[in-house]
Chains A and B, each alone.
Chain A
Amino acid sequence: MKMGYYAKLAGSNLIKNRRMYLPYILTGGGLIGVYHIVNTLHRDERMDAIRGGSFLRSIMGYGVIVMSILAVILLLYAGSFLMKQRRREFGLYHVLGLEKRHIACILFFETLYSMLSSMALGLLLGIALYKACTLLVCRLLQVETIFGFYYINAGTLLATLVFFAALYALTFFGNCLHIARLKAVELLQSAQVGEREPKVKWPLFIGGFAALFGGYYIARTVDNPLVGISVFFIAVILVIIGTYLLFMAGSIVLLKWMKKNKNFYYRKRHMAAVSGMLYRMNRNAVGLASITILMTSVILMISATSSLYVGIEDSLKKGHPYDLVMRYYYYETAADGGKVIRALPEESMKEALETAAAENELAVSDVRSQRYLSCAFLWHDGRLTGDRSVMDGTENMADAMDMLDSIAEVVFITAEDYAAMTGLTIPLKNNEIAICNLSKGQLPTGRVLAIDQEELRIVKELEEFPVDVSSMLEVNIITQSYGIVVSSEEFQALYKMQKESYGEYASEIVTNMLCNFDDDSAAAEAQDRMRARTDELLRPMVKEAAEGEVVDDAIAFYWDSKYDTEEAMLETNGSLLFLGILLSVVFLFATILIIHYKQIQEGYEDSGRFKIMEKIGMTEREVRQTIRSQMLWIFFTPIAVAMLHNIMAFSILESMLKLFYLQDVRILIACMGISFAVFLLLYVIIYHITAKEYYNIVHERSVYGVSYFDR
């Protein structure tokens, strides 16, 4: 009987406070839904059957962890927010004779109701959208959908429910503790007890500036992605610290400055907004900074993952000028008893490739060979050197990292090969070269490039270099790389020279076979068979080609097709993009919830103020304008700062994405721009909803208190 009364009271409380509880239940539902989807994807064994599915499952494992952390933070935050807003209500119950345990009883039912509604909503969403998500996954990974419709796994379902039930229980106990600690009088007291106008905290302001600009400086100046990753975290932490400090101290400096500027401040649109924000900034700063960080990470996350995904095609095109690159090496004993590495003759490789293609009914074109020599030198005293003694001084990591910047990767090809690949002839004498700068590094000053004792005269600078260097990971890390065309004699001379300098670490001349397939999809499908057949055809040729004795089983078969790379990229980048989308949606939810609650809270606080302002002659329109100008600041400062953060993070992001073979910056720019536009659009919608809600709160209170002299 009594319990029934509490249960009923709790129900009507939720309806009465629906302005706060509806977002709470929706957020709970959203979190449960997404958590369930991520968790199911993680545990769905059917995923292993599709290409890239097992990678996606393992990635979703991380997704579950992130989601759990986020769910804990958001639900506890929302729970404590609701408690704070309802203090007076509970105080009233207390005065009316309900004891704290009775209030706890009501709280119990309220928590139960909101939990059950969130769970119902969440599971409905989770189960209904799971199918949509698997479809999306299949589309992103570009595999055919093999699943049936709905998939419900009792174990996963239970795990989700138990996790969230525990969370709600935690919220409930936290709230009980909150109620237990409060005194009756305190419960009744309204929240506002003359908050002081905040003072400018100069040390925080200066510290914030230093941290932010330190972070920005690092982000803007580091262009070596390997150094970048370790330094990136320092930059991120500095920017986060800077954001918090500047929102805490910088906002106050700015608002005080606005206030000092009388012609600006004493305008009806600015006065109430500026002083209102200043008054509340102590409390608001942390919330605004958190929103900024959340937004920054959403935009970074989604633009990084989407540009990686969108960039697949482009980086395939650039990374694979030819559909297939193949080489075949074997080791044989040399005259002096050592081992030497040898490539199979080009004609043999070409023959094997064409045979294998014909057998698989694939049409091949542009079958050709390519030879190049790729070696690393150090810039030292204005010349490139392979002298190992220069390097021997570096023993610790830090020195080695420094040295990374002075390493230059040089790729040599002969003028004959260049002509064969491009159709352009460059007449070169023995000490003459044509050079192509493949990186952002500096070209040597003057017209002479010195490599150890060789003095090479630069006769031509090239815009493009025909050797596919981007597929070599080193080139992406090393900041300086050059492609150089030399005469055949010079090519051999350089080979010998580096052989002498580097000894056993010396590079070998690489002989590649290249070809294109006419039918991409057929070629993709037949890759594995092609590869196996080519190997089969080439293996007996080693014996024929060998001059000395072949070292048993020491065969290096390198097969790099566009199609294999594409599959691998779709697998990783598709999975990452999917995770990025899911997490962005959830982060977006979080941002929206926090900002919405913040505005509701302010609406309740401000309603009294606007009532007073209406009493002394502010029109309804002016109230609306003031509200709008105040809300515009609160809403759009975080997004503006988030945008700035993203712009500053751009170059470091770009160099990190290079590690994942993102070639074209424009893709990143476009993806970031689009993510930003979409985010802004959603944000504007939320702004309008929240502004309306806020206005209703302010307005309905003054409508009810229609009489000016009413008490």
Chain B
Amino acid sequence: MVILEVKSLQKVYTSRFGGASVKALSNVSFAVEDGEFVAVMGESGSGKTTLLNILAALDRPTSGRVVLDDKDVSAVRDSQMATFRRENLGFVFQEFNLLDTFSNRDNILLPLVLSGIGVRQMEQRIGPLAKQLRIDGILDKFPYEISGGQKQRVAIARALITQPKLLLADEPTGALDSRSADDVMKIFQGVNRTGQTVIMVTHSVKAASCAERVLFIKDGEVYHQLYRGEQTDEQMYQRISDTLTLLTTGGDAE
């Protein structure tokens, strides 16, 4: 079943006084199956941040549509946007974006509090999730008391607690050392195995090699994609780096 469908997205930025216009996305189309783990790769300026902003319902496309679970995202009214995001999407950021005034538990519970969910249900949800992400021992500590890897796991828990249709991750390993990065990628794979759809934007070949499919974006278009199939992480790594070499040297893909 297709959970996310992106149809011929185009995004043109025009400067305020109508001068030069910049085409960030020229024509992007792809579909994501329910339970898929997709990595989006591309160089700086390739348009992947714009794509992610549009997927996050934060920015509106100039033309084209984003359909999440049969619902047209661009048709959601501005006033409903925050609620829509909170109910349907989970976010993981490079800089964790945890609030240091909250304990880790409260950071994770915040989206539920915003949705007005009762205390009992919150407690029911946080227990198994914390166990799964191995953060049950640090729930009552504060973000400034734990390591970067732990912070990212808390952030993942915060993204997952609303049981989102789509988990969007932006360079989730960008601020982590290699060991914590591996650890976090294992977590993503584990979360994905439980059926969670994940879309991750990354520069890191290592991180991308954990995904089932990798989309390459260049000059505002989907330039190429790779499927994992039966390959191991290592084989996937090799293919991704070959593709990236091609991408940057300008040759045609395969």
Binding site for B on A (CB under 8 A): 192, 194-197, 262-263, 266-268, 271-272, 275-276, 278-279, 609, 612-620, 622, 706-711
Contacts and interface: CB of A to CB of B under 8 A. Distances in A.
A192 B100 contact: yes
Contacts of B97: 612, 615-616
A622 B111 CA distance: 12
A708 B56 contact: yes
Range class of the B interface residue count: 35 or more
A195 B142 CA distance: 10
Nearest to A611: B97
Contact of A617 (B86, B101, B106): B86
Contact of B83 (A266, A609, A617, A706): A617
Contact of B113 (A197, A271, A614, A711): A271
Contacts of B142: 194, 196-197
Given A271-B106, A617-B111, A622-B114, A708 B86 contact: no
A707 B97 CA distance: 14
Nearest to A263: B119
A192 B143 CA distance: 13
B99 A609 contact: yes
Chain B binding site: helix, strand, loop or mixed by DSSP?
A: helix
Contact of A194 (B83, B111, B144): B144
Contacts of B100: 192, 194-195, 279
A620 B82 contact: yes
A476 B53 CA distance: 78
Interface string B108-120: 0111111010010
Interface in B50-99: 52-53, 56, 58-59, 79, 82-83, 85-86, 91, 93-95, 97-99
B122 interface: yes
Given A271-B106, A276-B101, A279-B100, 5 more contacts: A194-B142, A262-B119, A615-B91, A616-B111, A619-B83
A278 B111 CA distance: 20
Nearest to B98: A612
B126 to A, nearest CB: 11
A616 B158 contact: yes
Given A194-B144, A268-B116, A709 B53 contact: yes
Given A612-B99, A613-B99, A619 B82 contact: yes
Contact of B86 (A196, A263, A609, A616): A616
Given A194-B142, A614-B82, A711 B94 contact: yes
Contacts of B116: 267-268
B119 A707 contact: no
Interface of B: 49, 52-53, 56, 58-59, 79, 82-83, 85-86, 91, 93-95, 97-102, 106, 109-114, 116, 119, 122, 142, 144-145, 158, 170, 201
Given A194-B144, A708-B56, A709-B52, A613 B110 contact: yes
Contacts of B106: 271, 275
Contacts of A195: 100
Nearest to B142: A197
Contacts of A708: 52-53, 56, 58, 91, 93, 170
A711 B53 CA distance: 13
A158 to B, nearest CB: 51
11 contacts: A197-B142, A266-B112, A271-B102, A275-B106, A612-B99, A616-B91, A616-B97, A616-B111, A619-B79, A709-B93, A709-B201
A268 B52 CA distance: 27
Nearest to A606: B101
A609 B85 contact: no
A616 B113 CA distance: 11
Nearest to A278: B101
Nearest to B109: A266
Given A194-B144, A266-B119, A709 B56 contact: yes
A708 B53 CA distance: 7
Contacts of B82: 614, 617-620, 622
A198 B106 CA distance: 17
A363 B184 CA distance: 102
Contacts of A262: 119
